[in-house]
């Protein structure tokens, strides 16, 4: 009976076979990760040129054959290959695919009426965060964009349901990824207002405006860019504070 093969690409690369960690050498781990990012089989020449771009085609193909042999020996059921193509075997579980599916469910039109189980932790980590190969960058950015929008949607949903702690948690996770994301800063202020934490709302608004001024060199009024709408949002706070200005 074959054992379940699980590849974790979020955060640090991890391979598990039958629930037990399995260590791979540098080239084998890169090859397996690259195949996990593909929707299906790909050409051997493309794989070889992607993993070993610094050498000739003949040398990279030779390295691919050698690495495939070692990978099959280490994880016999993980790879399928033909004369000209190679791909991931059916049944290999990949955390990135699961998280991507959940993020798309969160962003679907049906989310408000039938929200899936909200597990923000699955959106907390970057794709292969400690790897720096160029071929990772596009997929990393795609997943980063997806998880930021999913977390923001989850925050909106939690706010509407009165689950302020969950909404704050989701907002803060977004800001770890995109610290200057105005929509999330604005949403976080709204959450603090909704839960009655007015001082926290003012403090966070000031924090954001000072952040963009000091780090980006942008005037605070322009950076915030909310005008009358923002003033209306915080009017109750300002009146309770002697109409003192919020902007630093």
Under CATH, which number does the domain 101-240 receive?
A: 1.25.40
> How do strand 20-21 and strand 14-17 relate by DSSP bridges?
antiparallel
- Polymer length in residues for the chain: 248
Query: Is residue 117 over pLDDT 60?
Result: no
Across the beta sheet with 85-88, the strand order is: 42-43, 85-88, 79-81
| Alpha carbon distance 56, 48 (integer Å) | 10
DSSP 3-state of 197: coil
Give domain 5-91's CATH architecture: Orthogonal Bundle (1.10)
Query: Is residue 233 over pLDDT 90?
Result: no
Quick one: pLDDT band at residue 171, thresholds 50, 70, 90? Answer: very high
Question: What pLDDT, on a 0 to 100 scale, did the predictor assign at position 72?
Answer: 94
How much is the average pLDDT of 219-227? 50
Helix axes 198-216, 182-194, angle to 10 degrees: 160
| Alpha carbon distance 246, 248 (integer Å) | 6
How much is the average pLDDT of 177-181? 92
Query: Is residue 23 over pLDDT 70?
Result: yes
| Alpha carbon distance 81, 67 (integer Å) | 13
- Tokens describing residue 155: 């925050």
- Tokens describing residue 210: 């000072």
CB 221 within 8 A of CB 182: no
21 Cβ neighbours under 8 A, 6+ residues apart: 14, 15
Q: Mean pLDDT over all residues of the chain?
A: 87
Quick one: pLDDT band at residue 121, thresholds 50, 70, 90? Answer: confident
- Tokens describing residue 101: 């599916």
How much is the average pLDDT of 72-98? 94
Question: What pLDDT, on a 0 to 100 scale, did the predictor assign at position 1?
Answer: 46
Question: What pLDDT, on a 0 to 100 scale, did the predictor assign at position 88?
Answer: 96
Nearest to 98 by CA among 9, 4, 3, 2: 9
Question: What pLDDT, on a 0 to 100 scale, did the predictor assign at position 230?
Answer: 55
Per-residue pLDDT of 32-70, as tens digits, reads 999 999 999 999 999 999 999 999 999 999 999 999 999
| Alpha carbon distance 28, 34 (integer Å) | 10
Query: Is residue 238 over pLDDT 60?
Result: no
In the chain, residues under CATH classification 1.25.40 are 101-240
% of the chain residues with pLDDT over 90: 65
In the chain, residues under CATH classification 1.10.10.10 are 5-91
User: Model pTM greater than 0.95?
Assistant: no
Quick one: pLDDT band at residue 222, thresholds 50, 70, 90? Answer: very low
Q: Which helix (H) or strand (E) holds 116?
A: none
Question: What pLDDT, on a 0 to 100 scale, did the predictor assign at position 93?
Answer: 97
DSSP 3-state of 185: helix
CB-count burial class (<10 Å; 0-12, 13-18, 19+) for 195 = middle
CB 70 within 8 A of CB 23: no
Query: Is residue 113 over pLDDT 70?
Result: no
Query: Is residue 219 over pLDDT 50?
Result: yes
């Amino acid at each position: 009976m074959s054992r379940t093969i699980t590849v974790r690409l979020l955060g640090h690369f991890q391979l598990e076979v039958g629930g037990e960690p399995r260590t791979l050498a540098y080239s084998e781990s890169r090859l397996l990760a690259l195949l996990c990012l593909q929707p299906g089989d790909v050409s051997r020449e493309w794989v070889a040129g992607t993993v070993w771009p610094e050498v000739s085609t003949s040398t990279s193909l030779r390295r691919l054959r050698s690495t495939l042999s070692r990978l099959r020996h280490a994880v016999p059921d993980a790879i399928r290959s033909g004369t000209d193509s190679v791909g991931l075997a059916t049944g290999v579980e990949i955390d990135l695919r699961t998280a991507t599916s959940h993020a798309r469910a969160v962003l679907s039109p049906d989310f408000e009426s039938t929200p899936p189980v909200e597990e923000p932790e699955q959106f907390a980590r970057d794709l292969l965060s400690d790897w720096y190969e160029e071929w990772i960058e596009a997929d990393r950015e795609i997943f980063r964009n997806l998880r930021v929008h999913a977390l923001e949607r989850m925050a909106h949903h939690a706010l509407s349901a009165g689950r302020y702690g969950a909404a704050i948690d989701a907002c803060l996770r977004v800001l770890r990824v995109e610290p200057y994301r105005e929509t999330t800063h604005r949403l976080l202020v709204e959450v603090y207002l909704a839960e009655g934490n007015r001082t926290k709302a003012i403090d966070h608004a000031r924090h954001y405006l000072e952040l963009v001024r000091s780090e980006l060199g942008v005037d605070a009024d322009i950076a915030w860019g909310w005008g009358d709408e923002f003033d209306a949002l915080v009017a109750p706070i300002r009146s309770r504070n002697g109409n003192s200005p919020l902007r630093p």
